[in-house]
Structure 1
Amino acid sequence: MLSLLGFLTICVFLGLILTRRLSVLLSLILVPVIFALIGGFGSKEVGEMVLSGIKQVAPTGILLIFAVLYFSLMIDAGLFDPIVSGIIRLAKGDPLKITLGTAILAMLVHLDGDGTATFMITITALLPIYKKLGIKKLILPCIVALSVGVMHLVPWSGTVARALNVMKTDPAQLIIPVLPSMAGGILWVLFVSYWLGKKERKRLGIVQLNYNHNQELSDAQKESRRPGLFWFNTVLTISLISALILSLAPPSALFIIGFAVAILINYPSQAEQRKRIQAHATNVFSVSIIVFAAGVFSGILMGTKMIDAMALSVVSIVPKEHAGHLPALVGFTSMPLSLVFTPDAYYFGVVPVLKTAAIHYGLNPVEIGRAAILGQMTTGFPLSPLTASTFILVGLSEVELADHQKFAFKWAFGTTVIMTIIAMLTGAISI
């Protein structure tokens, strides 16, 4: 009975969000509550499950809020402006250098884990250059998508935040073992950028380019810039990321402190501080509130034991001799499934079942999370029609989604394949 209720909960949840009959936020809350009540659980029991789930995801939600705020402040302050100007200056009208510079810029800007912000910054800055040089329109969104996809494995991205929530583990356990895979993915993206740039250099040659990034900034952007604090912001950001990797303190605590220091030094007046926070409040709220709603979903499925019952059903179907291949299978299929499942549907509907099944098979359940983030809404999200930021990417690039998907899919899938193979070779996921 519990197994059936669990599968019905997930199917109804997926159906509602895929058909857009109900928002993700409301689906995460209402669907499990209704099925828990149908299953005979009382309102008091359901309420306790809700609170338990929220408590479990609270550190992840706090991490997401302050990490996005921190890196948004760094973008506002102009931390990445010298990089943009430097790339343009060094490229000197060479399409090959432009494509490589595009990849490097997108990776650096995407340290904030916010796809929308990265697309707006990189596409807006580089599209005029691509047009002036005559580089094929599909190359810019392709390279940006690949770069953002592999960098979306940072612990504070929305996708990894979902994986951390479901895995109930810390970033060190989930992320550090896949760092070699991430490095391999970065090298692959640079290779693809080199390959595409070389073809464009052969077609177009090297042309004279006159372009000044600073002159292209709007008045509002110029007002928020803090060029005199560039080195302070650089040292602060490097120190923060180093402390995160070395696990010197809980990630949420690090970003709370980092954000407080950054906003105080860059924008000392309270009026400026309010203005910067308000500028990013909508994005921060819309992302973080989903995490707490997901806590309701996972709290009820775990509290009612639906997850355990569903996993036992899966275990009874899959032959034990093939169970060891489950993490690898999840890894190789993760990127294409981004075109079918939203991140919420996959991480809150599919991954919990796979995780519990892995436990029953005697596998390390965290491997399921590691395998999933190698493609599902990381390398896959900039091509998925199920994420709003994808439409920002293609809209700003002035290309059609179908053309973008057709051009970029093989390169994005290649990123996941390479990262999955490296994860298998390094032991991050079992073979």
Structure 2
Amino acid sequence: MNMSRYVLLTIVAMAASVMNMVPWAGPLGRAGTVIAQDPNDIWMHLIPIQAVAAVLVLGIAALLGWSEKRRIAKLQASGEFQGTTEVDVASLAADFQARQEKVQEEDGYHFRKGRVITIINIVVALAVLVSLLSGLLPPAPAFLIATTIALVVNFKSAGDQSEALKRHAPNALSMAGVILAAAMFLGVLNESGMLEEIALMLVSILPAAVGPYLHVIVGLLGVPLDLLTSTDAYYFSVLPIVQETVAAYDVTGLGAAAALIIGNVIGTFVSPFSPALWLALGLAGAQMGKYLKLAFPIAWVLSVAMVLVAFFTGMLV
């Protein structure tokens, strides 16, 4: 269709960033560790702004699509582009499925298939979402139970189940290691009194009018900060100091965390520290510089809009 790969990447990045605001994603897990609150509770607080962000992303996609349509029409009118805008989606989907099955076969995947298995998987996934939304179970036991059911349903033998766990264990263990290390780091900062001293120093030098809104200011700068810091550094170094500082002005830990999450999460896939972004650029055959030229301003404007909506609706107190 001769669409710009950078437009496609930008739309995917904005949508994925908004959907990264869930309890099993990295940002809420890290923030929950810092403010000692269940990630599910943080998510419940953020659901309204997540819904607003989803609508905004659809609007951005429509505008970018309209712009691409005009650009392609000009190319067709000038004779530079002789292709078609008709796409056989069914054929593309079948081709993708065939390639996936080939890769799975080469990697030694052995699992059950069929309509009944698919239906059971859908029911399990929906049951997890319902339990999280209703607060019936915390995220950890909900996913552990669902994983156990999924392993039994999808894999015939204990050996296949074990292989499935081994394939995904490195990612799970690395995240667990980060959370444990961060907990020790924050414990040292809290129990030694260093965090409190840093916050008191900031309070003493900040203008009185700025102090109560420090978390909002940092949230507004969330996307640029994502270009300078990793996700771990942002949530485990910046958030604790901001939280402790605004606490002197009666801002809750949830309010401080919400501001930083909303401001920063949209920048998840415009950050050079994001492995997923490099993967996407490689698959699309795109360059980081050209991508950032388009995606960065859009991400920052979307982030600022979300923070301001959250602030004026009282979500950041």
TM-score range relative to shorter protein: 0.7 to 0.9
Matches within 5 A, 1:418-429: 418-429=305-316
1:7-86 alignment, distance < 5 Å: none
User: Quick check: 141-150 or 206-215, which moved more?
Assistant: 206-215
1:390 matched to which residue of 2?
Answer: 277
**What is the Cα deviation at residue 390 of structure 1?**
2.0
Name the aligned partner's letter for residue 196 of structure 1. Answer: L
Equivalent in the alignment of 1:57:
none
Residue 315 of structure 1 is matched in structure 2 by: 203
Cα distance between partner residues in 1 of 2:269 and 2:37: 26
**How far has the Cα of 1:281 moved from its partner?**
1.7
Match in the other structure for 2:23: 155
Q: Does the 8 Å contact 1:338/1:384 carry over to 2?
A: yes
| Per-residue deviation, residues 240-291 of structure 1 (Å, max 9, x unmatched) | 1111111112221111111111111111411111121111122222222111
Query: Which of 234, 249, 255 is matched with 2:137 structurally?
Result: 249
User: Which range moved further: 397-406 or 408-417?
Assistant: 408-417
Structure 2 partner of 1:233: 121
- Aligned positions of 1:326-341 closer than 5 A: 326-341=214-229
Specify whether residues 172 and 214 from structure 1 end up closer, same or farther in structure 2 by C-alpha distance, changes over 3 A only. Answer: closer
Question: How many angstroms apart in 2 are the aligned matches of 1:139 and 1:225?
Answer: 38
Residue 173 of structure 1, CA deviation: 3.5
In the alignment, structure 1 residue 352 sits paired with structure 2 residue 234: no
Q: 1:166 aligns with which of 22, 30, 34?
A: 34
Give the C-alpha shift of residue 363 in structure 1: 1.5
Given residue 135 of structure 2, which amino acid in structure 1 is its aligned partner?
S
| CA gap 1:208/1:245 in 2 versus in 1, 3 angstroms | closer
| C-alpha distance in 1 between matches for 2:40 and 2:28 | 12
Partner residue, 1:198: 66
- The percentage of aligned residue pairs carrying the same residue is 28
Q: Which of the numbers 85, 90, 100 marks the counterpart of 1:217?
A: 100
Q: For 2:40 and 2:27, locate their aligned partners in 1 and report how far apart those are by CA, in whole Å.
A: 16
Q: 1:360 to 1:237 in 2, by over 3 A?
A: same
| Cα distance in structure 2, aligned partners of 1:157 and 1:184 | 19
- The answer to whether the aligner puts 1:412 opposite 2:299 as a matched pair is yes
In 2: Cα distance, 1:286 partner to 1:375 partner: 25
Change (3 A) 1:246 1:382: same
Deviations 1:168-224 (A, max 9, x none): 111244222221111111111111212222333342573243422323324243654
Counterpart position of 1:278: 166
Q: What amino acid is aligned across from residue 263 of structure 1 in structure 2?
A: L
Q: Tell whether the 8 Å contact from 2:198 to 2:241 is kept in structure 1 after alignment.
A: yes
Q: For residues 10-51 of structure 1, give each alpha carbon's deviation from its aligned partner in whole angstroms, at most 9, with x where no partner exists.
A: xxxxxxxxxxxxxxxxxxxxxxxxxxxxxxxxxxxxxxxxxx
Distance in 2 between residues matched to 1:416 and 1:190, nearest whole Å: 15
- How far 1:225 sits from its partner (Å)? 6.6
1:260 paired residue number: 148
Q: 1:226 Cα shift? A: 3.1
Give the Cα separation in 2 of the matches to 1:427 and 1:227: 48
1:186 partnered with 2:15: no
CA deviation string 1:281-311 (max 9, x = no partner): 2222222211111111111111111111111
The aligned residue for residue 86 of structure 2 is: 207
What is the rounded CA distance, in whole Å, between the counterparts of 1:226 and 1:312 in structure 2?
60
The aligned amino acid for 2:281 is V
User: What does 1:364-383 align with in structure 2 at a 5 Å threshold?
Assistant: 364-376=252-264, 378-383=265-270
SS in 2 for 1:271: helix
Amino acid at match of 1:295: A
Moved more, 241-250 or 207-216: 207-216
Note closer, same or farther for the CA distance 1:225–1:244 as it changes in structure 2 (3 Å cut).
Answer: same
Residue 226 and residue 177 in structure 1: after superposition, are their counterparts in 2 closer, same or farther (change >3 A)?
same
Q: Using the alignment, how far apart are the partners of 1:216 and 1:191 within structure 2?
A: 33
Q: Which residue of the partner structure matches residue 85 of structure 1?
A: none
Distance 1:248 1:383 in 2: 35
Structure 1 unpaired stretches of 5+: 1-132
The answer (yes or no) to whether the contact 1:166–1:298 under 8 Å persists in 2 is yes
